[in-house]
Structure 1
Amino acid sequence: MSVTPEQSAEALQGMFKFGQSMAANFFDFLSKQGAAFQQVAPAQAPQLPLPEAEELARLQKELAESHARLWAHMSQVKPGEPAEPLVKPPAGDRRFNAPEWSSSPVYDYIRQAYLLNADYVAKVADALPVADGRTKARMQYLTRQYIDAMAPSNFAATNPEFIQSALETKGESITQGIKNLIGDMEKGRISMTDDSAFEIGRNLATTPGSVIYENELIQLIQYAPLTEQVYKTPLLIVPPCINKFYIMDLQPANSLVRFIVEQGFTVFLVSWKNTKESEAHFGWDDYLEKGPITALQVVRDVTKVDKPNVLGFCVGGTILSSSLAVLRGKGEDPAESLTLMTTLLDFADAGEIGCLVDEASVAAREASIGRGGVFSGRELAQVFSSLRANDLIWQYVVGNYLKGKTPEAFDLLYWNSDSTNLSGPFIAWYLRNMYLENNLRVPGKLEMLGVKVDMGKVDLPAYLLATREDHIVPWTSAYLVRQILGGETTFVLGASGHIAGAINPASKNRRSYWTSDSTASVPEEWLETAVEQKGSWWLHWAEWLKQRSGEMIAARNKPGNAKYKVIEAAPGRYVKETV
């Protein structure tokens, strides 16, 4: 890439100034965040600190030197010859993988210069004198959002893939991209999959069953047996209320529900209602009483089994465990065993969601919807997507709008986009008492349904599943459940993340999981003794559950009973309600 000294100096100065500008705009971005909090909760709004002058000067000098090295490197590139990049993106970053980025020295330079500037902004943010861990984590989150948004891949003028697509399609990709943008604006969200490819009850949530009970918050599904004999002790599943239940029952090949039924279990499942104004007054106690506690009683009445097995997933596990603690506090012996999938009971390290929850944000929720109101499912979905913005936001901005492509059909992403509303009092109480104050782990600190709950009284056998790359429920935090529950626990660590690690179908038997007999109090010590097992953890768990499910009996072919009659076929109405 032959350039004159004047061009070299101009380019260096330009890219260095751009890095400086990114940092300056970042501080403006943070200031606006603080101003927003000042409006809703002035007393709790965080103040924006600034880096020490000497440290900032050192980082600026480092940035200038890095740009000088990059320019010198690019100046040696010969036209038409690919060059090994001096600055490489972190592992797993696929934004600049397309050959168009490396075939052009101009775009090759743009991407590498961006990576230098992004690294500079991240280091400036890290240099902010912030001692509080939660505030520091929040700052890192905001930094990542800003850096990701500024990537040259997100803009038509600096993305060579946009230009190449336009040339190849004679401009049709631009026209289609505009249509995609307008369509997504009408939907109120970015399309991540081909929505027309899926329909709940047609090719999602198709395991046969019947709704045998419903109230203002739940429907209870009883699934039809797929074996001639079943274990006497049934299983009740409590999915998260922040998403729809069919993550547990996607398609036959990756349905956890169908897998359990095929293993010879009578399965019941809670389907949470998509909250509307008529349910906007319900709080935490209502979710316990009208959710797992009521569902347990129906299961007992239908099966004539006093102690069913129970399973909770994510916040469904927190709700279920709290319900069991209430029942134990009343002197009841409610269940035979407990399975928790990626569940927090100790919120000291609540993952990347935890960094977004502070006094100011919780106070704002309490003021706006804490006494009644609906927390938008779309807002919650946007928060979860922002945790992996490059994969769940910007990838589709580029693909849908710049390249004019239609996303491929993917059941998991269809579910991810199918958001649910929550009751305001419920979410406000949950955020304060779990994420902010971490009260659940303290015996007697919280009163639920008139009972001062002690999770240590939940002393039934428990199977605890965490996943190694989970950014929502860190596995080390899920491990701490062993120190909170009072019974014998079996801890298993699955590969992959929050969803892919949990929904790891036995039919494909991919990935792996780790087991150990160690009861170490420190999760890292447990991992040192753990042995990797190939395949799906579902098979390991099924064997554990069978040992706690009693004798085999004739399959329960008739759903419900005289008191709880069939209302409609599974998956029911509640799961089909949209935001």
Structure 2
Amino acid sequence: MTETVTQPADDPWPGASPPGLSAGPDCRHERLDTPRYASAGQIDRLVHAAFARATAGVSPAALWLAWFDWAWHFAGSPGRQVALAQRVVQHWQSGLTGSFPRPGGDSDPRFADPDWQCWPFSLLRDAFRQTELFWQEATTGLPGVSPHHEHVVSFAARQWTDMLSPSNCWWLNPEVLRVTAGTGGRNFAEGGRHWQDDLQEIFARHSPGASRRRCAPHGVGRDVAVTPGKVVYRNDLMELIQYAPQTPTVWREPVLIVPSWILKYYILDLSPHNSLVRYLVERGHTVFMISWKNPREEARDLGLNDYLQLGLFEACTQVRRITGTAPLHAAGYCLGGTLLAIGAAALGRDCGPGSAPLRTVTLFAAQTDFSEPGELGLFIDSSELAWLGALMWEQGYLDGAQMAGAFQLLHSRDLMWSRSIHEYLLGQHAKPTDLMAWNADTTRLPYRMHSENLHHLYLRNDLAEGRYCVGERPVTLADLKLPVFLVGTERDHVSPWRSVYKLHRLTGTGISFLLTSGGHNAGIISEPGHAGRHYRFSTRRKDAPHLSPDEWFAQTPACEGSWWPCWQQWLAAHSGEKTVPPALGGGTIIGDAPGHYVLEP
């Protein structure tokens, strides 16, 4: 297998590169397994891997550099120090009279219990809010600090203050004290059992089925991923699922969905009532889904180019074999959408007019410009990637638990502290949902692919800047000339919607942009009938003047309800006539959906 997308030659240390190849912006290769590199790189990798294991893949150098940058400039800013000191004195004088100002109002869910309004808990709450405000002001807007270091220090300060919240202490939390008095302490006994369950799950994490133990009521193929279909193709990287038609006629153009490889595909086929796949097939669309294999150490050398060639392009070939010559509607979610954008641009570059296999492109919460990747960018710099690369190199992959830890840190207030209060202090165990079951069903990422993804896309932003290579030639998103449906979510910490919106600057094609309520997952799973949902939608015609994200938001009214009907109507408007459904697999069927790969632990 020949790789064409490889690591840049200026990686932090040679051992961070995938074995054998390195490439700069001009896509020419340099061997890194020659004698002059091999022994030194091997030693460096072993040392870095040992340190990375001890720090769970977090680079101490990156943290110290950020702290030193901030501390040096803060020490040289006496005016900022005096202003902050005056604020502290003013706030504590107010506190002595019981009249702390309330900068955050009463909307913080940590202090939603009515007893937080009563003394002395109100004093604790307001003092904590002032502490949060102090560190926010101390760590932001300091002249001379690099933006990345400022974000890292501010994030670290927020993590520390969140940890010290009085809501996390049972003897300071009025809700916990009230429940303890009412139950005679049984809440702590229940919390202890929950804590023991979590410990057992941590120790058994690598055992088959362990990741789904707490969410066992939602079995894959039994409760979720149950839309009828067949596996119609399989290779070493993916299975292709074709869903059975549920209408007598279907639109001529099929829909191919490319999920992210970070978690299992059935985020888009959860329970029947909130399955996007079922919604589409019930409205006359022939739907195909890629199900990525959960890799282990033997897949360490699979790269982004493999996911493009053996995944997206091979799936397109098989869909057209089954359905005929009609071009496809392709939809990609998160990094699956980024892969789709790369592939669509490469096809636009290489295929003549009318010969491309795609009819339209839909991107769900997918970035193509990674210059502002949101809080995920806190973990991405040269030092951090070298550290993480060492950990992945030793294992051959990035483990799902390691990824989950990073995402929990980004959402620590909701995923760590709030959960700990309810599970361990209040003794309340949240009822598992299908989305929780999917979130617990973690996957692994091959070493080479994830390293290329982080270096090429996040660190270097090669795709947006025209340096990313497919077929040993750079691709540019200006070659993406198909109609695009672009979806962002309002509270997305993984793919911030303003970052998703940047595709408008990278291509002149027509883009229908939709901004929906919710976050990276819940905003996409927005089935009709879900209360409290809304979205904004408008279309930019081909080569129309550019609007900034804030201008677009200000002039685009909100619509109540789910955005799924809007997208389905857009697909129908870009489709031809209806026809009889194609035979499942074109006569070639491997097995029933959801297939084998999604069940691999």
Which TM-score bucket, shorter chain as reference?
Answer: 0.7 to 0.9
Q: How much is the aligned-residue C-alpha RMSD, in angstroms?
A: 2.7
* Residue in 2 that maps onto 1:251: 271
Deviations 1:141-163 (A, max 9, x none): 22221111111111233223333
Unaligned runs of 5+ in 1: 1-31, 75-84
What is the TM-score of this pair, normalised by structure 1? 0.85
The answer to whether 1:71 aligns with 2:96 is yes
Instruction: Give the Cα separation in 2 of the matches to 1:192 and 1:281.
Output: 28
Cα gap change, 1:72 to 1:91, in 2 (>3 Å):
closer
Cα gap change, 1:95 to 1:41, in 2 (>3 Å):
closer
| Cα pair 2:301 2:447 within 8 Å, conserved | yes
The answer to whether 1:135 aligns with 2:149 is yes
* Residue in 2 that maps onto 1:266: 286
Instruction: Give the Cα separation in 1 of the matches to 2:326 and 2:509.
Output: 19
Instruction: Give the Cα separation in 1 of the matches to 2:211 and 2:94.
Output: 40
Instruction: Give the Cα separation in 1 of the matches to 2:66 and 2:185.
Output: 48
* Residue in 2 that maps onto 1:22: none
2:270 is paired with a residue whose SS is coil
Shift of 1:244: 1.3
The answer to whether 1:439 aligns with 2:462 is yes
Shift of 1:371: 8.8
- Out of 148, 151, 158, the position equivalent to 2:162 is 148
Matching residue's letter, 1:175: A
Shift of 1:487: 2.8
Shift of 1:165: 2.2
- Out of 491, 496, 500, the position equivalent to 1:469 is 491
Shift of 1:489: 1.8
* Residue in 2 that maps onto 1:338: 361
Instruction: Give the Cα separation in 1 of the matches to 2:212 and 2:254.
Output: 37
- Out of 422, 443, 447, the position equivalent to 1:399 is 422
Cα gap change, 1:347 to 1:113, in 2 (>3 Å):
same
Instruction: Give the Cα separation in 1 of the matches to 2:585 and 2:58.
Output: 52
Instruction: Give the Cα separation in 1 of the matches to 2:518 and 2:188.
Output: 36
Shift of 1:261: 0.6
Instruction: Give the Cα separation in 1 of the matches to 2:437 and 2:499.
Output: 29
What is the TM-score of this pair, normalised by structure 2? 0.82
Shift of 1:314: 1.1
1:179 is paired with a residue whose SS is helix
| Cα pair 1:374 1:421 within 8 Å, conserved | yes
Instruction: Give the Cα separation in 1 of the matches to 2:150 and 2:362.
Output: 34
- Out of 287, 293, 309, the position equivalent to 1:289 is 309
Cα gap change, 1:493 to 1:453, in 2 (>3 Å):
same
| Residues 128-527 of structure 1 mapped to structure 2, 5 A cutoff | 128-188=142-202, 195-331=215-351, 333-369=356-392, 373-443=396-466, 445-508=467-530, 511-518=533-540, 519-521=544-546, 522-527=548-553
| Cα pair 1:194 1:408 within 8 Å, conserved | no
Moved more, 407-416 or 516-525: 516-525
1:391 is paired with a residue whose SS is helix
Cα gap change, 1:251 to 1:283, in 2 (>3 Å):
same
Shift of 1:397: 0.5
Shift of 1:108: 2.7
Instruction: Give the Cα separation in 1 of the matches to 2:194 and 2:220.
Output: 24
Instruction: Give the Cα separation in 2 of the matches to 1:390 and 1:192.
Output: 23
Matching residue's letter, 1:286: D
Of all paired residues, the percent bearing the same amino acid is: 31
Matching residue's letter, 1:249: D
The answer to whether 1:87 aligns with 2:109 is no
| Cα pair 2:70 2:139 within 8 Å, conserved | no
* Residue in 1 that maps onto 2:571: 545
The answer to whether 1:560 aligns with 2:585 is yes
Size of the alignment, in residue pairs? 530
Shift of 1:416: 2.1
* Residue in 2 that maps onto 1:14: none
Shift of 1:507: 4.3
Shift of 1:136: 1.8
Deviations 1:106-164 (A, max 9, x none): 33322222222222222222265553222222222222211111111112332233332
Instruction: Give the Cα separation in 1 of the matches to 2:215 and 2:232.
Output: 29
Matching residue's letter, 2:330: V
The answer to whether 1:49 aligns with 2:70 is yes
| Cα pair 1:193 1:409 within 8 Å, conserved | no
Instruction: Give the Cα separation in 1 of the matches to 2:123 and 2:66.
Output: 40
Instruction: Give the Cα separation in 1 of the matches to 2:107 and 2:268.
Output: 28
Instruction: Give the Cα separation in 2 of the matches to 1:416 and 1:502.
Output: 14
Cα gap change, 1:94 to 1:476, in 2 (>3 Å):
same
2:216 is paired with a residue whose SS is helix
Unaligned runs of 5+ in 2: 1-53
The answer to whether 1:532 aligns with 2:554 is no
Moved more, 340-349 or 354-363: 354-363
Matching residue's letter, 2:84: L
| Cα pair 1:516 1:531 within 8 Å, conserved | no
| Cα pair 2:91 2:101 within 8 Å, conserved | no
Instruction: Give the Cα separation in 1 of the matches to 2:591 and 2:567.
Output: 31
Instruction: Give the Cα separation in 1 of the matches to 2:579 and 2:58.
Output: 61
Instruction: Give the Cα separation in 2 of the matches to 1:470 and 1:401.
Output: 28
2:428 is paired with a residue whose SS is coil
Cα gap change, 1:134 to 1:405, in 2 (>3 Å):
same
| Cα pair 2:250 2:580 within 8 Å, conserved | yes
* Residue in 2 that maps onto 1:96: 111
